[in-house]
Structure formats: structure tokens, C-alpha cells
Amino acid sequence: MGLGWKSLACAACAPVVVVVLLALALCMPNPGKVLLAPARHTPASLWGAEYAPVVLDAADMPAGALSDGGRRAPVTHGWWVPGGPTVVLALHGRSRSKEWTLPALSGVAGNYSLLVFDFPGHGAAGFGLTTVGLREADVVDLALDWLAWAHPDAAVVVYGCSMGGAAGAIALGRTPRDGHVLSLITDGAFARLADVPRNLGSRFGVPVPDALLAAVDAVLALPILWDGVSMFDVEPLAYVTDLSVPAIFIHGEDDLLVPPSSAEELAAAAPHGKSYLYSGGHDEPTNAEVVKAVRTFADMSQLLAAMAKKARLS
């Protein structure tokens, strides 16, 4: 009988343990630095492309060229890959790096110029805490400010995966870039960061009592875990309603981390939003459908911009 009760207790505790472990993994400052082998790609090794290191530093730019977010952003290091007159600004996900994102850009390399960089706490920036898109949006502002200053004639397509998509949506929602940014493309972006721990339990088939969800929410909302902000502060859905550019929210149907329904929520809230689900999981830069989608929607953005310009001139 004792063994039976122990087995029953273990079975009852298993969902709690799984949810707690997944929640702790979510709030680690950058688990990819510890758990995952870092990507070693460069534009030269992938495509034989020339590239140059760039330092995005507000102190190096005229004050009049900076947005509010750009002024707040820390110094960021990246790569500039020259190509066509339109630039794809690529924003990597949490626990990733500029190198990791490069394969997703294979369809646009050569025909577009590229700007990739490491968010604070990632890649060359070193191990550190993250706000999973909120303060990272300041770095997106700085990158867009730099592009407008260093390449004033270039139009920009913003592409962001997961945290990068959230940061791009927040940045463009709060600071319109009409005439400079053509469109926003996100992959695997969440509508609300608070949805992620709840989705983890449901996607893994773990029954989670409401009381436990409330406890997990309370722990994950602690600012100490998110570099001074609450998990509930990170809500791209609240910003996309103010997007002034077309936005396409793509998402893998088999995403175990972020609910695929996030793409539909974001698209419904954005004034010019569309969603597209593809066969795949979360943050798969080598997925052929991701590569194709980035190229297709970037090309479509250029075409729509050209048509709008022609209509204005006629």
C-alpha cells in the first residue's frame, strides 16, 4: 500500500515538476549559451559574400538621427552585408545570435543588403539577462536609426524570429517609420510572453491546475528574472495595433514553445496584418519554408512599395 501511495504521489507531482522546470528554463538569462552549440556561420562561409563588422553606437551618431529608443540602446555589434538597394534587418531570437539567423536569409542574400547583430546578452555581446523583446526593441530602434543615417536611400524590410519578432513589432508599433521601413516579417513571435509557459504545459500534454498556473505566473512575473521588467510587460499584441506598415506573421504549425495561434492574433490586431502557418517548429532558420517565406514576403514588400510610388506619381 505504501508503494502504491508513493507511486500515486509521484504521478501527481510529475506535472508540477515538468511545468516548474520548463518555467525555470524560460526565465534563464540565456540558456542557449550553456545548452546549445553556438552557430559558426558567416556570410562568407554560407554564401561567399563579403561582409564588414559594424558597431551600432548612439554616441557615434548625430543626436538628430536618433529616436528615443535609439538613445537608450546599448552599444551593439553586427555585420553589414552589401547587396541590393533594399536592406533586410534580421533580428535573432532568445538564446540565439546573428550567426544562427543567417540561413533564414539565404533566399534574400545577394539581392538585398543585410544587417544582422547580436542583442545584449547574446552572441558576441556575452552572457546576460534579457527582457525577451521589450528593451531589445530599443536596439531595433538604434539599428533602424543607423540605417537611416548611414544608408538614407535604402528601404528596409524588418525580419525577426521569436524574441526578435517581438522586439521588431514593439519598435515599429511605438515609432512609425513610414517611407523608410517597407514591412515587418515575424516568425514564431508570441502575442504575449505570458502565453509561453501556459503553452508549454498544454503542448506537452501536461494537465496543469489553475492554482499551479497562478503560482507559476506569480514567480515568472518577478522583475528579478527579466532584468527589471515583468513577464506581463512583454506584450507585442499591444503594439501591433499601431503598426503603419504591412506585417506578415509566419509560424510553424508544430511549434512547441509559442502557440501557433499567436500569428493569427497578431495579424488580426495589426491594421495591415496577415498570418501564414508553415510545416515546422520553433526557430528553424534552415527550414526551406522559412527561407522561401522570407524571400517571398520581402519581394512582395518591394513590389507593393513600387506600385504605391507609381500611383502617387501618376
Decide: 293 and 278 in contact? Cβ < 8 Å.
Answer: yes
**Position of cell 536569409?**
105
pLDDT for 149 beyond 70: yes
pLDDT in tens, 48-89: 999 999 999 999 999 999 999 999 999 999 999 999 999 999
User: What local confidence, expressed as pLDDT, does residue 2 receive?
Assistant: 46
pLDDT for 161 beyond 90: yes
User: What local confidence, expressed as pLDDT, does residue 124 receive?
Assistant: 86
Band of pLDDT at residue 127, cut at 50, 70 and 90: confident
User: What local confidence, expressed as pLDDT, does residue 198 receive?
Assistant: 73
Q: Cβ of 66: how many Cβ atoms within 10 Å?
A: 20
Band of pLDDT at residue 21, cut at 50, 70 and 90: low
Angle, CA of 203, 207 and 210, to the nearest 5°: 110
pLDDT in tens, 212-222: 677 777 777 77
By mean pLDDT, which of 32-41, 102-111, 189-198 is the weakest?
A: 32-41
Torsion over CA: 8, 14, 20, 23 (sign): negative
User: What local confidence, expressed as pLDDT, does residue 276 receive?
Assistant: 96
User: What local confidence, expressed as pLDDT, does residue 103 receive?
Assistant: 97
Give the cell for residue 128: 546576460
Q: Which residue has the higher pLDDT, 18 or 230?
A: 230
67: left (phi over 0), alpha (psi -120 to 50) or beta: beta
User: What local confidence, expressed as pLDDT, does residue 1 receive?
Assistant: 42
- Say whether pTM exceeds 0.85: yes
Decide: 236 and 266 in contact? Cβ < 8 Å.
Answer: yes
32: left (phi over 0), alpha (psi -120 to 50) or beta: alpha
